Amino acid sequence: MDAIRQALFVRINREGWPFIGLFATASLLLFLIAEPLGWIGVVLTAWCAYFFRDPDRVTPTRAGLVISPADGVVQMIGTHLPPLELDMEPVERTRISIFMNVFDVHVNRVPADATVAAVAYHPGRFLNASLDKASLDNERNSLRLALADGRELAVVQIAGLIARRIKCYVASKQPVRAGERFGMIRFGSRVDVYLPEGVGTLVAVGQRAVAGETVLADLGSAEPSRAGEVR
């Protein structure tokens, strides 16, 4: 019963209530025009509530773990320079790109215990977030996170073809914890994580990640990046 209750009564992110109210009001008006249209509005209202769901997550708390900031599919893993606006050392780092479709939870979470060293917004285009060039061309919001051991992570929220709004709840010099909510993107997008130099990945392309739960990397491990295959 607890599992059913948790599935039916999931927390709604505060960003969603204006949209849910708008959809619900439109549904009532559609019922006055034609009942079938009203039921279509009910379905859309339910989808809107589903989109803005914000479930609790069980975050691994061991020091050194890098946790996924987003729900979605690990779409790309490669080496790239972090966003220039973060003013990080111009060295290529492993970048993990996680693509969120319109059915994924869109609340983003902090990948590791850290202090926010910088927050930088960059205006841009709204290309399909699954394209590699979206990391450079699209509108984005970037966080530079200073870890306790002196190393740094970067987390980048990237707008997509449908997403038109990036929300970030944290500010520079703010201490943050792994798994803590730091923002969201409406409605379908991508989040990139730039690891410190020399750190391997514990996920593979095509794997599904869960924000606040899936371990992307272990900063204290010398294990090489893992590979994966469909079976």
* Half-sphere CA count of 132, side-chain side, radius 13 A: 6
Q: Which of 135, 189, 221, 225 is catalytic?
A: 189
Instruction: Establish whether 27 is a catalytic residue.
Output: no
Q: How many CB atoms lie within 10 A of CB 228?
A: 11
Distance in angstroms (rounded) separating the CA atoms of residues 115 and 148: 8
CB 13 within 8 A of CB 54: yes
Helix (H, G, I), strand (E, B) or coil at 29: helix
According to DSSP, the residues that pair with 108 across neighbouring strands are 183
Would you state the structure tokens that stand for residue 65, as one six-digit string?
Answer: 């773990």
* Sheet strands (E) in the chain: 65-67, 72-80, 93-100, 107-109, 114-122, 140-146, 152-158, 165-168, 175-176, 181-186, 189-194, 208-209, 215-218
The answer to whether residues 66 and 195 touch, using CB atoms and an 8 Å cutoff, is yes
Q: What residues act catalytically?
A: 189
